[in-house]
Amino acid sequence: MTTPTLATMTADELLAMPHNGYRFELIEGALHQMAPASSQHGRIAAKIGIRLGVFVESNDLGETYAAETGFVIATAPDTVRAPDASFVSKARADITRGEGFFPGAPDLAIEVVSPNDRPADKALDWLRAGTRMVIVIDPSNRTATIYRGLNDIQTLTEGNTIDGGDVVPGWTLPLADVF
């Protein structure tokens, strides 16, 4: 669950904020404080991130990013989102190597559903920003919903396998391994 604050700010102001133990996202200039993830949420996100990262690095496909990584997906007003795991292709990964949020959307965004989340809204935000594939993991239903476009949505159950398709070629992950 996120709690918006009243102040409007920019991505640069968010980046300059002191680290006080809380996580934040910026949505259309509004700062949203995020509750810490549950142990189940963190375990699932880590499992996926590790497997994705090992595959991407072994195949020199680009870069993977952890949950704390901010992506500037809109400006004026600024929106900075942080998926639970993400991938940026090698062709785009060198956009930034320094400090700061990644300037744009990842090619793949992975979100693990938390209580009070609106996962479809997050997925649509990512797609509108240019993300080519969004994976939404729902631990309560033991499902994954794969968004490859606004009209290309597929729900997988525990017996199915996630496939990176043309976004992360060759990467697969049996959904049973996630839970």
Question: 19 lies in a domain?
Answer: no
Does the pLDDT at position 4 exceed 90?
no
- pLDDT band at residue 68 under the 50/70/90 scheme: confident
Question: 162 lies in a domain?
Answer: yes
Question: 91 lies in a domain?
Answer: yes
Question: 30 lies in a domain?
Answer: no
Does the pLDDT at position 120 exceed 90?
no
Host domain of residue 117:
37-178
Q: How many domains does the chain have?
A: 1
Contact 128, 149 (CB under 8 A): no
Average pLDDT over residues 22-46: 91
- When mean pLDDT is compared across 37-46, 89-98, 108-117, 131-140, the lowest value belongs to 89-98
- pLDDT band at residue 96 under the 50/70/90 scheme: low
Question: 141 lies in a domain?
Answer: yes
CATH code of the domain containing 164: 3.90.1570.10
Percentage of the chain beyond pLDDT 90 is 75
Phi-psi region of 28 (alpha: psi -120 to 50; beta: other; left: phi over 0): left
Nearest to 134 by CA among 106, 159, 160: 106
Average pLDDT over residues 24-38: 90
| The pLDDT of residue 49 | 97
